[in-house]
Amino acid sequence: MQCRLQPVATAMQLAANAGIRYVFAVLAILVAVVLQQTLDAHFSPLPPYIMFYPAVIIVAAIANSGPGLFTTLLSSVYAGYFILPPHGSFRIEHTGDIIGMLIFAVTGVMVSVLAGGFHRKRAREKKLSEQSLRRSEDHFRILGEGVKGYAIYMLDRDGTVVSWTAVAEQLKGWPEHEVLGKNFSLFFTAEAVDSGRPRQILEIARAEGSFHEEIERVRKDGSHFWAAITLTALRGEGAQPQGYAVLARDISERKQAERDIAASRSQLLSIVNSALDAIVAVDSAQRIVLFNPAAETMFGYSASDIIGQPIERLIPHRFHGVHAGHLRNFAAEGVASRNMEDLGTLSGRRSNGDEFPLEASISQGETEGGQLFTAILRDITQRRRAEAHQSLLLGELAHRVKNTLAVVQSIAAQTHRFSRPEDFYITFCGRLEALGNANDLLTSSEWEGATLADIITFSFAPYSVQGMVERWTTEGPRIWLAPNEAVTLSLVFHEMITNAVKFGALSDANGKIGINWKLTSEDAIPAVTIHWREYNGPAVNPPTRRGFGSKLLERAITHEFNGDMKNDFHSAGFECMVRLPLSAKVRVQT
């Protein structure tokens, strides 16, 4: 409706303007006539157009070409009728007057046309400038209100707010009338104001032309928000800025998102950094992009040295091709993760070149930076060692059990061969007990070996009862024997003790046994020489037939220990010298 009425209103306005302009022309002519009449009375005769020339010029200049031409016409009519003779008639007597009128008319038309051109030019310029103004106003409105979330306002050179927009009000909470004329320090936090931040910012913007920062700002209700602020100095003619345009945007959401990301990133980092397993990530070019502290310890590289390096640095040379193939296949399969156990034993390479077995799982995922492969690695050197040790122990155990069974088999065979059938069971069990005692002794030292003193004491165990223990003595340096030697010597002592109980010093109530050993070096062979001496007992006779005991004694000492021995069946008691050369299996314990 407003649009339809617009042309009518403009026409009416134009008509009104035209009326006024022609009235102005008539008034100018009237003034000219009055001045003509008045001056003519004193300075007759005046040139007929002396007052009309100025009237035409003034009217044309002020009221444009139409009223100018109108004034020219009306002035000519008036002059022709009233001024030029004969008066009171349009007839003109003198040819000179006709020429004068023509000159006036031509001059008036020319002045009016010139004035018209001048007026049109001015009107055009005015129109252009109005359009341009309208355009810049539109721009400002679009900037100020059309751009969502951007508050635009202006400050003068001291920081006083001189313009404000709806978005600015929306953002900061103050309506226009409350901020206009106030200093922009209103928008700063109290601490920022105390530290003189608003003035600093203006100074920087003045010196550098603009200033940008992301900072906490205050709303009218006192709440804080994060804003991205850009100040641009507006320079006029001079070097000093006339004011500043401020562009402010609420970035609280982005800041919160950034804080969330930072928090989750630091959480993730703390997990990665505190993990006991090594975590290594590579990009699609197989270059290391992540290397946690456990990986640093495992491989002996610092993260700063290894990041950016190819993953091959961590893999033994001979596996380079294999590894690249694995990774290609894994990428091609597109499986998210995989335990690497099904790839067999993997090997890592430390910075010092050492290889070590490792267990790994690998996962892949797309990130903004492209494909990322993450491997979680565990050094299984210790576990492998423990497994190997365990398997060794199990093998040894099986071997020892079978060996012991063979020894038992041998004891049974020898007992069967040398004993009367009715004695077999008792004799066999006694020997088995000796073997068992030797095993007990060795178990207490985890099968490392046993000392000579302990072997003798254990061999006497079946007789270690009140009234008996006082009847033997042992004395000598600490001699250590390896397990097999300890078992054999236990069986030997069992036979000697059994003989002493049956026929020797322990067969009556008074006999005693002294067992002493010392280090000797007969024939330059370092050895331990054991002296077994029975005394105070019954008189003994050499045995009539050789039994298992003497066979074992002789075999064990000469064959197993490479030693020698000498038996004496004195009437005072049995005496035996046994020499065991020192070796890795028989040695002085320090």
Q: Which residues bind another protein (CB under 8 A)?
A: 395, 398-403, 405-411, 413-414, 417, 482, 484, 488, 491, 551-552, 555-556, 559-560, 562, 583-585
Measure Cα distances from 246 to 133, 213, 268, 419, 566 in Å.
21, 12, 39, 118, 117
CB 581 within 8 A of CB 527: yes
Question: Could you tell me the smallest distance in angstroms from the CB atom of residue 410 to another protein?
Answer: 4
**Which residue number, 277 or 560, has a Cβ lying nearer to another protein?**
560
Question: Could you tell me the smallest distance in angstroms from the CB atom of residue 520 to another protein?
Answer: 22
Name every residue whose Cβ is closer than 8 Å to that of residue 561 and which is 6 or more positions away in sequence. 485, 488, 580, 581, 586
Question: Could you tell me the smallest distance in angstroms from the CB atom of residue 585 to another protein?
Answer: 6
CB 107 within 8 A of CB 49: no
Residue 548 and residue 418: Cα distance in Å, rounded? Answer: 6
Question: Could you tell me the smallest distance in angstroms from the CB atom of residue 398 to another protein?
Answer: 5
Question: Could you tell me the smallest distance in angstroms from the CB atom of residue 491 to another protein?
Answer: 7
Q: For the CA atoms of 69, 70, 71, 77, what is the dihedral angle to 10 degrees?
A: 110
**Which residue number, 363 or 419, has a Cβ lying nearer to another protein?**
419
Question: Could you tell me the smallest distance in angstroms from the CB atom of residue 406 to another protein?
Answer: 4
CB 438 within 8 A of CB 458: yes
Question: Could you tell me the smallest distance in angstroms from the CB atom of residue 400 to another protein?
Answer: 7
Helices (H), 64-196: 65-78, 95-141, 166-172, 176-179, 190-194
List the structure tokens of 80.
Answer: 């022709």
Instruction: Give the closest residue to 220 by CA, choosing from 271, 181, 168.
Output: 168
**Which residue number, 269 or 405, has a Cβ lying nearer to another protein?**
405
Question: Could you tell me the smallest distance in angstroms from the CB atom of residue 465 to another protein?
Answer: 28
CB 199 within 8 A of CB 177: no
**Which residue number, 449 or 537, has a Cβ lying nearer to another protein?**
449
If one counts every other C-beta atom within 10 angstroms of the C-beta of residue 380, the result is 18
**Which residue number, 406 or 468, has a Cβ lying nearer to another protein?**
406
**Which residue number, 154 or 556, has a Cβ lying nearer to another protein?**
556
List the structure tokens of 241.
Answer: 């800025």
Question: Could you tell me the smallest distance in angstroms from the CB atom of residue 415 to another protein?
Answer: 12
Helices (H), 419-503: 421-444, 452-459, 483-502
**Which residue number, 430 or 573, has a Cβ lying nearer to another protein?**
430
Helices (H), 176-312: 176-179, 190-194, 197-208, 252-274, 293-299, 303-306
Helix axes 421-444, 381-418, angle to 10 degrees: 160
**Preceding amide of 86 cis, omega within 30:** yes
CB 108 within 8 A of CB 56: yes
**Which residue number, 160 or 583, has a Cβ lying nearer to another protein?**
583
Residue 105 and residue 46: Cα distance in Å, rounded? Answer: 18
**Which residue number, 220 or 400, has a Cβ lying nearer to another protein?**
400
Instruction: Give the closest residue to 537 by CA, choosing from 493, 568, 572, 576.
Output: 572
**Which residue number, 135 or 417, has a Cβ lying nearer to another protein?**
417
Question: Could you tell me the smallest distance in angstroms from the CB atom of residue 387 to another protein?
Answer: 16
Question: Could you tell me the smallest distance in angstroms from the CB atom of residue 323 to another protein?
Answer: 30
Question: Could you tell me the smallest distance in angstroms from the CB atom of residue 562 to another protein?
Answer: 7
* Sheet containing 150-156: order of strands: 161-163, 150-156, 241-250, 224-235, 210-218
**Which residue number, 232 or 562, has a Cβ lying nearer to another protein?**
562
Find where tokens 């010597």 sit: 489
Find where tokens 């928000």 sit: 225
Question: Could you tell me the smallest distance in angstroms from the CB atom of residue 413 to another protein?
Answer: 6
**Pairing status of strand 337-339 against strand 288-291:** unpaired
Collapsing DSSP states into helix, strand and coil, what is residue 178? helix
**Which residue number, 36 or 414, has a Cβ lying nearer to another protein?**
414
**Which residue number, 156 or 564, has a Cβ lying nearer to another protein?**
564
Residue 88 and residue 122: Cα distance in Å, rounded? Answer: 42
Measure Cα distances from 50 to 36, 56, 60, 365 in Å.
8, 11, 17, 101
Helices (H), 540-585: 548-555
Question: Could you tell me the smallest distance in angstroms from the CB atom of residue 550 to another protein?
Answer: 13
**Which residue number, 119 or 494, has a Cβ lying nearer to another protein?**
494
